Structure 1
């Protein structure tokens, strides 16, 4: 592993009591390697600096990955608008947003608790609240579990049981199937794990209808097939980080050339699937035109990534894929609200 792996480490469960609530840990750490595994042991600072209330609150909010949660909530609301053929009642909309946000945020927090050793080794993630010592690992775990629990209760009490169960399934999918079983063990981690990010549209659909149907599964498929090219573009940018942490992302396990090809192939599949809502009459002209234009731009950037084998091209693809999903779902909303 590279020298940057030491950075700032988070306390593990055994040492959680040594890291005080809201206190920093000093940068030096020692590593203990056994076989192919590597453990990171953190030494607490003899003069820890206590975080103020504002800084501590900011750290907990950061744990939830707010920007990702907002995108997931946006897809949830979009599915609700499509299912309701317009704006759903606030009595359903508001608790679904709250419950969905807590489920997504809680799952992200638990993910960071489990991955705190990896985050400490990777430059991109070493300043997250747990590895940087701003939040003790055990406190983060309790926070994450509380968020997921409250999400299940809110959705069950104020929406319906199917929506509550789907939110819980999404959290379990992300934490157990992706984080624990797949991420560290197989190059298929993103291919299979992408289902976790697609479940929020099912949450939104079921909140309005109390059931799922073929149309909701098309929305699920759009996000499912969007996840690999989006995540692999990021992996191309931080390939060294993933290699240092022994995470078998596509560029690490199969090489960058194969990754670029897979991004193009999955982008093609994504664009085809994105047209299905109009084929089955779920959405109309505004969405069709938008999906066509956005799909063309995505394919152009994917093809360009095949030719320009540098970080700038990967960064453009990553940003484009993020914008693609946001504008695609915005087009769905406009199509339903205007037409």
Structure 2
């Protein structure tokens, strides 16, 4: 699978160019970008399917879940179809804009990131199997959000289809389009106190505008890379005289993901700690630590994790989070917005 990904990113670049030159020599530049995106998406789909085929049966055995492998694969394909269609359209438009003008492409990237940040929650609520949060949970959680002074458009329950995942999340940078998602199994196994603490943590994300900060953390490296490449285009031209094109492409495809993962991971871990601090001040550090314990037990989650795993997950390790909450004093005063 890794070789397939590498081939689509590196060897596939020249292959696409040669194929289009032979089949459609008059093809616009954006078509090559769209085809390359499709190759990358295909590689990612195959990787995800391979992971699901390995993980779902093991998870079913370990946690006694009821999720079928076929159901998990269908859900993944469904999500990738939505992402693929939207990504293909956006990639095609972006390719045409890039061919036209570099600065316009930078502006296009900003617009796309803003649209995703604003409309992403609505897409998630339709891409995943969600439905209206049932009573009395809906009324109780909405009252708690109002107590935190966090406005949301809706509260939705994610149907894990027997996956028995315990989690909750807040999504959306605008209150009018902000959603809170809670999995069905979380409502079944978490106590009212634990659910209150988890919701306080998500409210901390909302009050701190953490989603907006993460969107900026994702956009800034891309703008720096594209803008820097354009500013150094003459030096790049001279570099290509001595270094093969595949070598330059390999460097770009290695640097960009590593930079994005590192920035997003560092920022994400810092924001998770800030959300923990907010919840500790509002519902109590021990109550949040107890809720994290319950989440770890229900999900059979590994508590002690390494730095690389934490960066990839954009979360600090559970063991460290719980120890930090139980060892550091926290004020019980509500956090200011």
Q: Which TM-score applies when normalising by structure 1?
A: 0.31
Q: Which fold has the larger relative contact order, with Cα–Cα distance below 8 Å and residues 6 or more apart in sequence? A: 1
TM-score relative to the length of structure 2:
0.32
